[in-house]
Amino acid sequence: MVNSVFDLASGCLHTASIDQKLESTQRASELLARGQIDFSGGGEPLPITETVFPVFPELVDPRQLPRRNVGSETGRVALLHALAHIEFYAIHLAWDIVYRFRGLPAGFYKGWLEVAVEESTHFSWLCRRLAQLDAQYGDLPAHRGLWDLATDTCDDLLARLALVPRTMEARGLDVTPGMIEKLSKVGDEESVAILQRILTDEVGHVALGSRWFKKVCYERGLDPETSYIEFVQRFLKGGKIRRPINYALRKQAGFDEQELKKLELL
The whole-number average pLDDT for the span 22-31 is 97
What pLDDT is stored for residue 63 in this prediction? 82
What pTM does this model have? 0.97
pLDDT reading at 223 higher than 90 = yes
Residue ranges and CATH numbers for the domains of the chain are 1-145 (1.20.120), 156-266 (no CATH)
Q: At residue 83, does pLDDT exceed 90?
A: yes
How far is it, in rounded angstroms, from Cα 32 to Cα 133?
34
pLDDT for residue 144: 87
Q: What integer pLDDT is reported at residue 43 of this predicted model?
A: 87
State how far Cα 127 lies from the chain centre.
Answer: 17
pLDDT digits (tens, 9 = 90+) for 95-142: 999 999 999 999 999 999 999 999 999 999 999 999 999 999 999 999
- Average pLDDT over all residues of the chain: 96
pLDDT of residue 234: 95
Q: Quote the Cα angle for 161-167-169, to 5°.
A: 90
Assess whether pLDDT exceeds 80 at residue 156: yes
Residues 195-209 have a mean pLDDT of 98
CA distances from 63 to 32, 60, 135, 142, 163 (A): 41, 8, 22, 10, 23
Q: How confident is the model at residue 235 (pLDDT cuts 50, 70, 90)?
A: very high
Q: Give the strand pairing for 142-143 and 37-38.
A: unpaired
Cβ atoms of residues 33 and 116 within 8 Å: no
Decide: 108 and 94 in contact? Cβ < 8 Å: no
What is the SS3 assignment for 144?
A: coil
**pLDDT, tens digit, 9 for 90 and up, residues 170-196:** 999 999 999 999 999 999 999 999 999
